[in-house]
Amino acid sequence: MANDKERAVLLLEDGTRFDGFSFGAAGEQVGEVCFNSSMTGYQEILTDPSYAGQIVTMTAPQIGNVGVNPEDMESERPHIRGFVVKENARLVSNWRAVESLSAFLCRHGIPAIEGIDTRCLVNHLRENGAQRGVLSTRDFDTASLRAKALAWPGLTGMDLTGEVTCAAPHAWKEGPIAWKEGIWTPDGGKSAFTGETRRVVALDFGMKRNILRGLVSVGCDLRVLPATATLEQVLAEQPVGVFLSNGPGDPEAVGHAIDLIRRLLEKNLPLFGICLGHQMLCLALGAKTRKLKFGHRGGNHPVKNLLTGQVEVTSQNHGFVVESDGLPRDLEVTHLSLFDGTVEGVRLRSAPVFSVQYHPEASPGPHDAHYLFRQFAELLA
């Protein structure tokens, strides 16, 4: 495991350099440098497949104080390229922890840097936009590192769904995590839902586990299919609805999925999309997407529900957004960001189809938007 005296450097494509210390695996990674403003939930962020291809900076000053545990994993492993914090907590103070953050990152080969001015880094990204960068514990030459950053193609035009999707179709039965007999545990394959379950296909473009738990909690009998699934494979499951998951990369680059969604729309099945699923659904309907300057990532993003007038505090993680101009007439905007006015949710006026840009399952974050799972369940025949 790395010790405090091992050097590490983060270099951005514009030449901005941050020198610090390694607290993860030795090595070097290139990715898009972004930031997340969540105060808690670093383990869920690390294991969210939507972060594939990214070097994540946390804005909270101290990270790692609750260690890492099996229950908070949102996938089998971390998907980030690198991790950046102001200070890595040496003392793990949580009874659920099985290892430290540093040990977890080392075990999975993820380089990490601490001891830098993260406020300066975040301000730089806000002013200049998300940038390609290199996090290294072995190369400290500025010119060499910058050349590596500039050689990386970046996330625009990149389809990363194949790196993070499930290997094969499978069922998912696990319901929400609950407090039982003094421990946090999944409900053993049962959920609070006691009515008749309905078969739903969940297309995995990089799905978080808590999304699946949320769907189970409203009565979905889930069959998870890989991102490469065909229309024939989806229909063979005889679903009464289809869920389109979150995931990493540029939505416009995932042409095979957009084509599949177009064909699913012709079947008039209820569709529900989150994040990347939302973006690809809108593209399939004729909308456009664009890359945000520095993205929305954090657990405190206010979103206005235009249908009810209520404001939801939401968890978000995305670098691309659906353009509000030129939307098809049948596509109604239902939610807007109160930070920058970008589109956060849509629905079709003529079909049981809707999607949101944010994460109603949270993990981490608030649960204001969990009603969207119930809304989807109400559409299922």
Alpha carbon 123 to chain centroid, angstroms: 22
Order of strands, sheet of 220-226, starting from the edge strand that comes earlier in the sequence: 170-172, 220-226, 198-204, 241-244, 271-274, 353-356, 343-348, 331-337, 289-305, 311-322
Answer for the pair 166, 204: CB distance below 8 angstroms, yes or no. Answer: yes
Q: 314: which 2 tokens? A: 């939401």
Backbone torsions φ then ψ of 301, nearest 5 degrees: -90, 120
User: Does residue 34 have an active-site annotation?
Assistant: no
Q: How many C-beta atoms lie closer than 10 Å to residue 275's C-beta?
A: 29
Closest CA to 51 of 295, 255, 259: 295
Distance CA 36, CA 60 (A): 9
Q: Locate 358 and state its tokens.
A: 């944010």
Known catalytic residue at 370: no
Q: Which of 246, 223, 222, 271 is nearest to 376 (CA)?
A: 271
Written as one letter, the residue type at 196 is E
Q: Are strands 54-58 and 82-84 parallel, antiparallel or unpaired?
A: parallel
3-state class (DSSP) for residue 119 = helix
Residues 6+ apart with CB under 8 A from 265: 271, 284, 285, 351, 353
- Annotated active-site residue in 275, 282, 318, 344: 275
Q: Is 163 a catalytic residue?
A: no
End-to-end CA distance of the chain: 53
Catalytic residues: 275, 359, 361
